[in-house]
Structure 1
Amino acid sequence: MKLLILGATGPTGRHVVDLALRAGDSVTAFVRNPAALDGLADQVSLATGDATSHRDVSAAMAGQDAVVAALGRGRSVVADDFFTRSSAAVISAAEEAGVSRLVWLSSFGVGHTLAWSSPAQKLIYRTLLRSVYANKAISDESIRSSGLDWTLVYPTRLTHGPAKGTYRAGDRLPMKGNPTISRADVAAFMHQAAHGREWIHRTAVISD
């Protein structure tokens, strides 16, 4: 599969890159700084640019079979319209290029998933993460309304632990406390979803 990975140097995206290479995919890594790929430049096709730029994303989109987007704001709790602008760029570029498959990383607690959150989760989502989650909610609805074969992925609190392979995934999951899931497991789910049809036009909530 020819796979375009957005956010390829991020903490989740890098796991997706590694998994895709091990699976034999032809990987195009969309990055701001190629040096952050740490020696993988000779194993992937590099596309340098801004994920909010239609021109930059469109240039990387041509000839791809699927897109995995693991974009994030790092430690920032200010959205700055990043997710709405990047989703708009990805949707328009994909439609122009005829690339239908998109697996997009969101967050549990965004949009309608807030209703399933535990009290501890709601407190965090409605305060510290309010700006980012509000922007993600708009972005997610834009993707749902697109003509793409989308999958929206809603992980609980992300950790840097190793992949366990025992996570739960469903359209809805019961929550207690403030559960977690490793970025490595999230990446494994996203890569698998991109290769299959089970999760097309579905919201995937995932957690340990």
Structure 2
Amino acid sequence: MRLAVFGATGGTGEQLVEQALQAGHAVTAVVRRPEAVKLQHARLTVRRGDVLDAGDVEAAIAGHDAVLSALGPRSARAPTTICRDAVGHMLAAMERCGVRRISCVSSLALGDGALQSWPARLFMRHVLQPLLRHPFDDLRAMEARLRSSSLEWTIVRPPRLTNGRRLGRYRYAIDTPLARATTISRADLADSMLAHLDDRATVRAVVEVAY
């Protein structure tokens, strides 16, 4: 597949690019600073682009088979709409370019937490959500834009991310809460996103993933 990866210089984005190339895909890494991408590969194209510029986004998406977004808010404390606005540009560009498949990273904290432990629920409700209110508001708005689209979207909700190695072993749940979800490495989050690209069960669905 020809994959356009947004947020390619972040921890998850770097893993998406590297693992996609290992799997034989052709990858376009869309970044603000191309010099930040150290990986070189015959099937890797590094493209300068601003995710808040509709023209840059459309030019990056044209000619691809799927879009992967590992974007996250730039600030944990300040109001932001970067994920909402960037995904809005992606969806509009995909409609114009005839690209159907998109997978975006969100957060398990946006789920209802029904199957988590009481301490985990209390921490999410009274500490994490108030502390990260603005980023979570942005992710909720991003998810709403995806849900309103007729494209083949997948919302991927991980819990706390680590820099651990890729194990290739994790649990996931489609459109239902995942019990005891506490952590997953960025490497295995990327693995799950790539593994689900061809899984029709994840189309227009929310996937919670964790160890």
1:129 aligns with 2:132: yes
- The residue that corresponds to 2:86 in the other structure is 86
1:180 alignment counterpart: 183
Following superposition, which runs of at least 4 residues in structure 1 exceed 6 angstroms of deviation?
Answer: none
Count of paired positions: 204
Q: Supply the distance in 1 between the matched residues of 2:23 and 2:169 (Cα, whole angstroms).
A: 20
Contact 1:68 1:194 in 2 (8 A): no
Following superposition, the deviation at residue 202 of structure 1 comes to 1.0
- Of the structure 1 ranges 197-206 and 35-44, higher mean CA displacement relative to structure 2 is found in 35-44
Q: Structure 1 length normalisation: TM-score?
A: 0.92
CA distance in 2 between counterparts of 1:204 and 1:67 reads 16
Point out where structure 1 has 5 or more consecutive residues left out of the alignment. Answer: none
| 3-state secondary structure, aligned to 2:76 | coil
Q: Is the 8 A contact 2:61 2:97 kept in 1?
A: yes
Aligned-pair CA distance for 1:43: 4.2
Q: Any conservation in 2 of the 1:2–1:27 contact (CA below 8 Å)?
A: yes
Amino acid at match of 1:59: A
- Residues 1:40 and 1:123: Cα distance change in structure 2 (over 3 Å): farther
Q: What is the SS of the residue equivalent to 1:4?
A: strand
Do the aligned partners of 2:76 and 2:132 also contact (CA within 8 Å) in 1? no
Structure 2 equivalent of residue 164 of structure 1: 167
Q: Distance in 1 between matches of 2:41 and 2:57?
A: 19
Equivalent pair of 1:125/1:133 in contact (CA under 8 Å) = no
- In the other structure, the counterpart of 2:6 is 6
Of all paired residues, the percent bearing the same amino acid is 34
Relative to structure 1, is the Cα distance of residues 123 and 164 closer, same or farther in structure 2, using a 3 angstrom cutoff? Answer: farther
Which 5+ residue runs of structure 2 have no aligned equivalent? Answer: none
> Structure 2 length normalisation: TM-score?
0.90
Distance apart, 1:123 and its partner CA: 2.5
Tell whether the 8 Å contact from 1:73 to 1:79 is kept in structure 2 after alignment. no
